[in-house]
C-alpha cells in the first residue's frame, strides 16, 4: 500500500490582530512512508541523548529561540546545537514542505481567516489532485492543538479526497511533526524579515560574527528549506 504522510503544525492563534502576534502560519510536511528514515531518526535521538535530553524529547523551535520553558537554563550555544539537530534531520530526510503565512491585519474576524485558509488548502489539493489521488492512503497527522484548525483540516481534506485518514499525534512521537514546527518557524521568520523586523531574541539567536541575523538566515537556513519545497 502506497501511503503519504502529511504532518501539520501551526504558529499563532485565531484571535484578533495584535502587535505581538500579527501572523498565522500553517505548515505541511510530506513524507512517502516507503522511504525508510529510521537511520535519520536514530541520529536525532542519539543527538538528544548526547545533549542531556530524552530520546523522545519534542523539540520546540520557538521556545528554543526565545530561551523559554525547558530551554531557559541552556546557553546560546547549547540551544543553537539543538536547533541545528532538527535542521540537519530535515535536510537529510526525503521530505518536502509547504507553508502559508496569513497576515491577521487583513482579516476582519476568525471566520474570514478560516475561510481564507480553507481556500488556500483546497487550492493546493486541487492543483496537485493527480498527486494526492495517486496514493492508496493519505494520512494526516495533527495534534488537535486548535479546534478551528482541526475542523478545517477534516473538512477540506475529506471534501476533496476519498483516501484520507486523520490521526491525532503527540509531538514527542514523531520527529516529522517537529519538522513541521520548524517549517512554521522559518516561514514566520522569512515573513518578519520581509514585512517587519526580527525580535531581539531572534537577532541574538541567528546572528553570527560574520552576518546579521537576516543574512545568516538566508545563507544558512532558508536555502536548505527552499530545496525541500513541495512540488510533485
- Listed in sequence order, the residues at least 6 apart from 21 whose beta carbon sits closer than 8 Å to its beta carbon are 12, 13, 15, 104
Is residue 193 a part of any domain in this protein?
yes
Is residue 190 a part of any domain in this protein?
yes
Is residue 108 a part of any domain in this protein?
yes
Count the domains in the chain.
1
Binned at pLDDT 50, 70 and 90, residue 77 comes out as very high
**Closest listed residue to residue 110, CA positions, set 42, 13, 180, 198:** 13
Question: Which domain CATH number covers 16?
Answer: 3.30.420
Q: What is the per-residue pLDDT across 21-76, written as a single tens digit (0 to 9) for each?
A: 899 999 999 999 999 999 999 999 999 999 999 999 999 999 999 999 999 999 99
Cell of 105: 491585519
Is residue 11 a part of any domain in this protein?
yes
pLDDT, average across residues 83-94: 95
Is residue 232 a part of any domain in this protein?
no
Report the C-alpha gap between 53 and 178 in whole angstroms: 15
Does residue 232 surpass a pLDDT of 80? no
Q: What is the per-residue pLDDT across 155-187, written as a single tens digit (0 to 9) for each?
A: 999 999 999 999 998 877 889 999 999 999 999
Query: What is the pLDDT, as a whole number, of residue 211?
Result: 94
Is residue 231 a part of any domain in this protein?
no
Q: Provide DSSP, 144-171.
A: ---HHHHHHHHHHHHHH-SSEEEEE--G
Query: What is the pLDDT, as a whole number, of residue 144?
Result: 86
Report the C-alpha gap between 229 and 114 in whole angstroms: 24
Q: How does 25-39 read in b/e, with b if 16+ C-beta sit within 10 Å?
A: bbbbbbbeeeeebee
Report the C-alpha gap between 199 and 144 in whole angstroms: 28
**Closest listed residue to residue 138, CA positions, set 7, 226, 15, 38:** 7
Percent of the chain with pLDDT over 70: 100
Is residue 28 a part of any domain in this protein?
yes
pTM for this entry: 0.94
pLDDT, average across residues 205-224: 93
Q: What is the per-residue pLDDT across 95-114, written as a single tens digit (0 to 9) for each?
A: 999 999 999 999 878 889 99
CA atoms within 13 Å, Cβ hemisphere of 50: 10
Q: Which domain holds residue 171?
A: 3-226
Q: Provide DSSP, 58-89.
A: ---HHHHHHT-GGGTTS-HHHHHHHHHHHHHH
Is residue 92 a part of any domain in this protein?
yes
Residue carrying C-alpha cell 478551528: 148
Amino acid at each position: 500500500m502506497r501511503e503519504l504522510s502529511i504532518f501539520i503544525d501551526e504558529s499563532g492563534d485565531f484571535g484578533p490582530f495584535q502587535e505581538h502576534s500579527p501572523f498565522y502560519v500553517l505548515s505541511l510536511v510530506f513524507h512517502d512512508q516507503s522511504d525508510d528514515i529510521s537511520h535519520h531518526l536514530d541520529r536525532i535521538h542519539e543527538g538528544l541523548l548526547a545533549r542531556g535530553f530524552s530520546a523522545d524529547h519534542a523539540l520546540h523551535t520557538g521556545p528554543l529561540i526565545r530561551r523559554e520553558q525547558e530551554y531557559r537554563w541552556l546557553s546560546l550555544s547549547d540551544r543553537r546545537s539543538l536547533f541545528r539537530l532538527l535542521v540537519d534531520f530535515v535536510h537529510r530526510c526525503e521530505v518536502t514542505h509547504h507553508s502559508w503565512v496569513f497576515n491577521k491585519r487583513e482579516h476582519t474576524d476568525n471566520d474570514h481567516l478560516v475561510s481564507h485558509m480553507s481556500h488556500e488548502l483546497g487550492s493546493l489539493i486541487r492543483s496537485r489532485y493527480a498527486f494526492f489521488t495517486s496514493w492508496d492512503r493519505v494520512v494526516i497527522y495533527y495534534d488537535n492543538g486548535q479546534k478551528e484548525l482541526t475542523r478545517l483540516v477534516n473538512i477540506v481534506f475529506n471534501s476533496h479526497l476519498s483516501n484520507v485518514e486523520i490521526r491525532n499525534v503527540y509531538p514527542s512521537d514523531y520527529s516529522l511533526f517537529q519538522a513541521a514546527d520548524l517549517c512554521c518557524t522559518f516561514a514566520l521568520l522569512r515573513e518578519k524579515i520581509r514585512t517587519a523586523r526580527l525580535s531581539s531574541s531572534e537577532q541574538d539567536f541567528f546572528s553570527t560574527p560574520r552576518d546579521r541575523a537576516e543574512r545568516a538566515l538566508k545563507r544558512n537556513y532558508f536555502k536548505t528549506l527552499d530545496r525541500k519545497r513541495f512540488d510533485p
